[in-house]
Chain A
Amino acid sequence: MQITMTVNGTDVTNEIEPRVLLVHYIRDVLRLTGTHWGCDTSNCGTCVVLMDGQPVKSCTVLAAMADGHAITTVEGLATGGTLDPVQQGFMEEHGLQCGFCTPGMMLTARALLDVNPHPSDTEIRRAISGQICRCTGYATIVRSVHWAADHPAGLTEADAAGGDPSALDDSAGTTTEPGAAAAEAAQAIPAAETEPEEVTA
Chain B
Amino acid sequence: MQIPAPFEYARADTVDDAIALLSRHGPEARIIAGGHSLLPMMKLRLARPEWLIDINDLYELDFVLRDGDRLRIGALTRHTTLLESAEIAALFPIVGDAERVIADPIVRNRGTIGGSLCQADPAEDLATVCDVLGAEAIVRGPSGERMLTMTEFHRGAYETAVAPDELLCEVRIPIRPRSGSAYEKVERRVGDWAVAAAGAALSFAEDGTIAVASVGLTAVGLDGTVGAVTELLRGERPGEPLFIEAGRLAALAADPVADQRGPIDYKRHLADELTRRVLRRASDRAAQSAGATGHPTTPQEG
Contacts and interface: CB of A to CB of B under 8 A. Distances in A.
B220 interface: no
Contacts of A183: none
A108 B9 contact: no
Contacts of A43: 191
Interface string A17-41: 1111100100000000000000011
A42 B42 CA distance: 13
Contact of A60 (B35, B54, B191): B35
A19 B109 contact: no
Nearest to A128: B105
If over half of B's interface residues share one DSSP class (helix, strand or loop), that class is named, otherwise mixed; here it is loop
A24 B43 CA distance: 14
B6 interface: yes
Contacts of A41: 2, 40, 43
Nearest to A67: B11
Interface in B2-48: 2-9, 11, 32, 35-36, 39-40, 43
A196 interface: no
Nearest to A21: B3
Nearest to B56: A65
Contacts of B56: 65
B52 interface: yes
Given A21-B3, A42-B36, A129 B109 contact: no
B30 to A, nearest CB: 13
A194 B228 CA distance: 63
Interface residues of A, number: 29
B107 interface: yes
Given A40-B2, A60-B36, A18 B107 contact: no
Nearest to A19: B4
B43 A40 contact: yes
A138 B74 CA distance: 37
B35 A61 contact: yes
B191 A57 contact: no
A48 interface: yes
A45 interface: yes
B104 interface: yes
B106 A57 contact: yes
B163 to A, nearest CB: 24
B191 A19 contact: no
A72 to B, nearest CB: 14
Interface string A58-87: 001110110100000000000000000000
A56 B106 contact: yes
A54 B80 CA distance: 11
A191 interface: no
Given A42-B40, A65-B54, A130-B190, A19 B5 contact: yes
A18 B105 contact: no
Given A45-B106, A54-B109, A131-B104, 8 more contacts: A18-B6, A18-B9, A42-B107, A43-B191, A55-B106, A64-B54, A130-B103, A130-B107
7 contacts: A19-B5, A42-B36, A57-B36, A61-B39, A65-B54, A127-B105, A130-B104
